[in-house]
Amino acid sequence: MRPFLATAVLCFAGIAFAAEPILMPQIDGPWWTVAGDPDLGRLAAPNQQVVDFAIWQAADGSWQIWSCIRNTNCGGKARLFYRWQGAQITDRNWPAMGIAMQADPGFGETPGGLQAPYVAKIGREYHLFYGDWENICHAKGVDGKTFARQLTPQGESGLFSEGPGCNTRDVMVLRIGGKYYAYYTATPKGKGSVYVRTSKDLRRWSASRVVAFGGSAGTRGRSSECPFVYYHNDSKYYYLFRTQRYGDPGQTNVYRSKNPMDFGIDDDRYLIGALPVAAPELVEYKGQLYIAALLPSLKGIQIARLKFIPIRSEPPQ
């Protein structure tokens, strides 16, 4: 499509409204690989894959990636977290730092069930959110490299879940106003949805609400993976990145809405396009926006610059 170049004007009841451009994220230049297929030693397996991950800057300024490595020999669900560290976000081939975390059944976690870490710096603390196959869990630390599980009064790490067998996972947390919004996916009855819960203290969470489901992305279990919500400050819109397919090519649908609690239920009213990537995460640093995503081979992680471009216009909401 040609970029939107001119401002259209709509008139209704004698009042003029300027149509606003729809901005779509676009990869801005070549990718560079930052993480590869790690050496897990005795836990290694030939078919292991690097999948859902988190990327952030630690307290000492270094860049961190934790990724879920699946199909390993760790037992149970065969997943664990591995860590890489880079000096600059633009560096290639960050040094591998070893296994970062494994599931602990002593805290109620499913053996080998760690999934999809996400790290947010809140105040002076770093908060790690992750899935344990059934629950969304929480840990925190101060250096951005080491984390201690935050346990419930029952001595478990799980914060909330959509229920047994629903594989609640792929959490990310965004602060909006005075609340934290936790977006994640789960598959009750084999159907995938994007959910949200809110909290003021990161301990007590609201009941869940479905914010995206169905439409052209489908309803199967993998139709709503790796939800990532980004607030585009210039346009005042929220963007939901919702993955449907890993591998080559990957596919992540992009939705745009003024309401962070609604990206479309059984329709595509907020769908604006798709990116050929899987499990993306956006990072802003020194005025530049970056996108990190899985390698198509699922043997590592790559980063590129990202920009938003106008693709068409619509009446203002």
What local confidence, expressed as pLDDT, does residue 19 receive? 74
| Alpha carbons 280 and 264: distance in angstroms, whole number | 20
Is-contact 275 27, C-beta < 8 A? yes
What local confidence, expressed as pLDDT, does residue 316 receive? 56
Query: What CATH fold (topology level) applies to the domain 9-314?
Result: Tachylectin-2; Chain A (2.115.10)
What local confidence, expressed as pLDDT, does residue 14 receive? 46
Residue that the structure tokens 């003029």 belong to:
16
pLDDT in tens, 126-183: 999 999 999 999 999 999 999 999 999 999 999 999 999 999 999 999 999 999 999 9
The total number of residues written for the chain in this structure: 317
- Region of 219 on the Ramachandran plot (φ > 0 left; ψ -120 to 50 alpha; else beta): alpha
Is-contact 301 53, C-beta < 8 A? yes
| Alpha carbons 186 and 168: distance in angstroms, whole number | 4
Q: Residue 235: which pLDDT band, with cuts at 50, 70 and 90?
A: very high
Number of Cβ within 10 Å of residue 268's Cβ equals: 13
The candidate with the shortest Cα–Cα distance to 84, out of 242, 292, 316, 271, is 292
The candidate with the shortest Cα–Cα distance to 295, out of 306, 305, 280, 308, is 280
The tokens describing 260, both together, are 């962070």
| Alpha carbons 128 and 145: distance in angstroms, whole number | 10
pLDDT in tens, 75-87: 999 999 999 999 9
pLDDT in tens, 47-73: 999 999 999 999 999 999 999 999 999
Q: Residue 317: which pLDDT band, with cuts at 50, 70 and 90?
A: low
Phi/psi for 156 (5° steps) reads -115, 160
